[in-house]
Structure 1
C-alpha cells in the first residue's frame, strides 16, 4: 500500500479507532492450478440379437483452471473488539469471499461471516450470518478442511441434491451458513467443554388467520399463481453443537433442523435434519480424524395423504490422518456416503466413495505450497464431483468417476 493511501486510511478510520480496543484487518490469498475430470459411462451390456445394441463407452467432461481456495478459502476480513468494562466486551466480524484468480469477487458482500457480538464471563451472544453448528464437524474433522479437490465427501454430498431442485440435499438452504441467526457460545473456561446453539429466523411474512396467507409467486416469471402454495417458515434453522477439547483429544456431537419448504395451504412442512459425531486425536507423529453423519429430509403433513411422500436420507463416514514431516504435512482421507431414497428413485440407492491425499510444505508461518489429489467413485446415479463441470448424464450415460488435482500457494496476512 502506498504511503499516501495508508495516511488516508488512518485518517478515515481515526474516529473508529477511538471507539475500538482493537481493529484487525486479515485475510488469505490462495491460488492454484486445478484440474477436474468427470467421467460418465454407458453401463448397459451390448447385445448382438434383436434388439441390437452397441455399448457407447464413456464420455469425460474436464476442465483445467487457475482456481482459488484449494487449501484455505481466499478472504478479506475486518474484526474488532471494544472493552466495555466489568468483564464485558463488544465485537464485530465482517468477512468477504475473494476470487483472486479473476478479481471478480471482493468486498461487494460479507457472505462468509457478518456478526456482532456481546462477550463476557457468561459466554458470547452472536448475531448475524455465520457457520451453522452442524457444519463445523465437516470442516474440523476433515484433514482437508472441506476445501479443494480433497474436501470432505460428506460436505460435497450435503451440497448435492440427488432428486434435483434448489439447495443441497433435500433442498436444505442452511447446510453451511445461516443468515439472520442468533447464536450463543459457551464460555471457554469450562474444563475443555465447548458448545454453541443457533436459531436462524426465516423472516417470511406470517398471517393470522392462516387462511389469509396469499398464494405463491412464480420465482421465474414473478406472477402470482392462484393455485400455488405459499411458504411461511422456509429457511428457519435451529441447532447446536457440544464438544470436549483437552490435550490431544477433540470430540463433538451436533444436531440441526432446517426447514426446506413449508406450506399452509398444503398443510406440509419439509424438514432437513442433520446429526453428526466427529473426533480427532493427535499422537504427535500422526493425527487421526473420524466423522459419522446422518442427514434426513422428512415431510410432516397435517392430513395424511393416500400416497405419502417418502422420506430420503444419506449416511456418511470419513476417516483421515495428517502426518507432519519437517516443515511439511501429509494429508489423507477415505470417505463413503450412501443415499437412502426410500422409493423416491427407481434404481438402487446412490452411493459414492472418495480417496484424497495431499502434501503441504510450509515456507513460513504464513506462506505454504501444496498439492492435492482426489478421486470419487459414484454408483447407482450418485453424481458427486471433486469440482469442475457437471457429469454428462443424458441418454445412456451414468456418472461414474470424478478425479482432480490442485497445485497451489497460500499466503495469509
Structure 2
C-alpha cells in the first residue's frame, strides 16, 4: 500500500528530480592571537603610565587540518517536482537537505537548506516554507566564492557571527541566511530583466488578550519575525540588486522595547568576457526601538552598525576559473564618549580578508578546486577563516589578530 501511494504521488507530477552535490576537501584553518601590551597603559586623564616589569607574552596560535565538506559548493541532497495545473498555473515543491559527506553523520534528517511548496503562474510565484532571505542573496550572488569554503567574504561571515558568543549571527540574528515559517512572493521572469522578491516570516509567538496577561519573559512576543525584499535588474553582462531585511532579534513586552537587525545591501556584477567583476556594499544595524508605553525609555539607545564592502573578480582560463576577492567590515558603536589625549576609546573593531582560488572543471558536473584566504583583525575584531576559534582569552591578555586557511577539494554534482 505504501509503494502504491508513493507511485500515485509520483505519477501526478509533471516532473520529479533527485539532485545533489557531494563536495569534499582537505582543509587547514589557523587563528593567531597576540599580546599587544608593551607595558604602557593610560590613566583616567589619558596620560601614559609605563610598567617596566611587564613581560610581553608573545602570541598563541590555534590550528587544525580536517577533511571538510562544502569548500566549493554546499553538499546537499534534494527532491524537487512540478505539476502542470493548466492555464499557465503550476504547483511545485522543493525539499533540500544538508549532508556532511566527510563523516556521513548528517544525512536527510532535516530539510534545513530549503523546504517549500509554491504556486506559480503569470502573476509570479508564491512560495511557503523555509528559504533564503532576500537580504542574504546579495552576499552570495556577488561573491566570487559563493559564500562557500575559506574564501567566503567577510560580509557574510560577520553577519553570521555573534561576537558576544550568543545564538544567531550579528546581534543574535537567526535570519541572517534563511527564514523558517515564511511567505515569499517572486516577480514573474518576463519583465525585461527586472526581478524581485518579498518575504514575511512569522515569529509564531503566542499573543495574549488582554496584553497584561503576557508572561514576563524576554523575547516572548515578537522575536523571530522577518520582513524583507530584494529587487534587481539583469540583462546581458550586467546584474545589480538592492535588498533590505528587518529581523526581530529580541523584545521586552513590559519595557515596550524591540530589538531589530536591519540589513541593507547593494550588489553589482559585470561580465566583460575576459574578466567578471563583483562588488557589494552592506550595512547591518542592531537597534533597540521603543514600541510601548509601560516605561519611559532613554532618549537614545546606542545602536551598533556592521558596515562592509567587497570587490571580487573571476577570470576564465581554458577549462578553469581563477577567483579572487577582497572584503572588509567595520563595527561602529553609537556611543559618543569623548577621547582623552592618548586614550582612544572609539577605535572601532574592523577586519579585512583576501581570498584567492582556482577551479578546474573536469566536466560539467565534476571539478577540482583550491582556495587560500587570510583575515586580518584590528581593534579587537575576532573574525576568522571557517570560524576557527582564537586562543582562550579569559584574562584579556591576547587579542585576535590573523587567521588563514586553505581548501583543496573535489566537487561532484548530480
Fold-level similarity (TM above 0.5): yes
* Residues in 2 aligned to 1:406 and 1:371: alpha-carbon distance in whole angstroms: 5
Map of 1:131 onto structure 2: 132
Shift of 1:51: 5.0
Contact 1:274 1:296 in 2 (8 A): yes
Contact 1:63 1:388 in 2 (8 A): no
- Is 2:21 the counterpart of 1:39? no
Shift of 1:159: 1.3
Q: Is 365-374 or 50-59 further displaced after alignment?
A: 50-59
Pick the aligned partner of 1:250 from 239, 242, 245. Answer: 239
- Return closer, same or farther for 1:246/1:50 CA change in 2, 3 Å cut-off: closer
- Is 2:18 the counterpart of 1:25? yes
- Is 2:278 the counterpart of 1:289? yes
- Is 2:275 the counterpart of 1:311? no
Contact 1:215 1:230 in 2 (8 A): no
- Is 2:328 the counterpart of 1:336? yes
Shift of 1:162: 2.7
- Is 2:355 the counterpart of 1:356? yes
Shift of 1:209: 1.5
* Residues in 2 aligned to 1:316 and 1:194: alpha-carbon distance in whole angstroms: 24
Q: Secondary structure at the match of 2:135?
A: helix
Shift of 1:215: 2.7
Task: Output one character per residue of 1:282-309: Cα deviation in whole Å (capped at 9) or x when no partner.
Answer: 0010000000001001111244434853
Pick the aligned partner of 1:298 from 270, 287, 301. Answer: 287
Q: Secondary structure at the match of 2:71?
A: coil
Q: Secondary structure at the match of 1:387?
A: helix
Contact 1:74 1:98 in 2 (8 A): yes
- Return closer, same or farther for 1:22/1:411 CA change in 2, 3 Å cut-off: same
Shift of 1:50: 4.6
Q: Secondary structure at the match of 1:91?
A: strand
Map of 1:225 onto structure 2: none
- Return closer, same or farther for 1:53/1:243 CA change in 2, 3 Å cut-off: same
Contact 2:155 2:327 in 1 (8 A): yes
- Return closer, same or farther for 1:307/1:88 CA change in 2, 3 Å cut-off: closer
- Return closer, same or farther for 1:404/1:18 CA change in 2, 3 Å cut-off: same
Q: How many residues align?
A: 394
Unmatched 5+ stretches in structure 2: 41-48, 338-344
* Residues in 1 aligned to 2:228 and 2:51: alpha-carbon distance in whole angstroms: 57
Map of 2:268 onto structure 1: 279
TM-score normalised to structure 2 length: 0.92
Contact 1:135 1:176 in 2 (8 A): yes
Contact 1:213 1:230 in 2 (8 A): no
* Residues in 2 aligned to 1:83 and 1:386: alpha-carbon distance in whole angstroms: 45
Task: Output one character per residue of 1:339-360: Cα deviation in whole Å (capped at 9) or x when no partner.
Answer: 0022399662110000000000
Task: Output one character per residue of 1:353-377: Cα deviation in whole Å (capped at 9) or x when no partner.
Answer: 0000000000000000000000000
Pick the aligned partner of 1:237 from 226, 231, 235. Answer: 226
Contact 2:39 2:50 in 1 (8 A): no
Task: Output one character per residue of 1:62-88: Cα deviation in whole Å (capped at 9) or x when no partner.
Answer: 010000001000000000000001110
Contact 2:216 2:253 in 1 (8 A): no
* Residues in 2 aligned to 1:207 and 1:105: alpha-carbon distance in whole angstroms: 39
* Residues in 2 aligned to 1:98 and 1:344: alpha-carbon distance in whole angstroms: 47
Shift of 1:245: 0.4
Q: CA RMSD, aligned part only?
A: 1.9
Map of 2:389 onto structure 1: 390
TM-score normalised to structure 1 length: 0.92
Contact 1:328 1:361 in 2 (8 A): yes
**Structure 2 counterparts to residues 221-232 of structure 1, below 5 A:** 229=218, 231-232=220-221
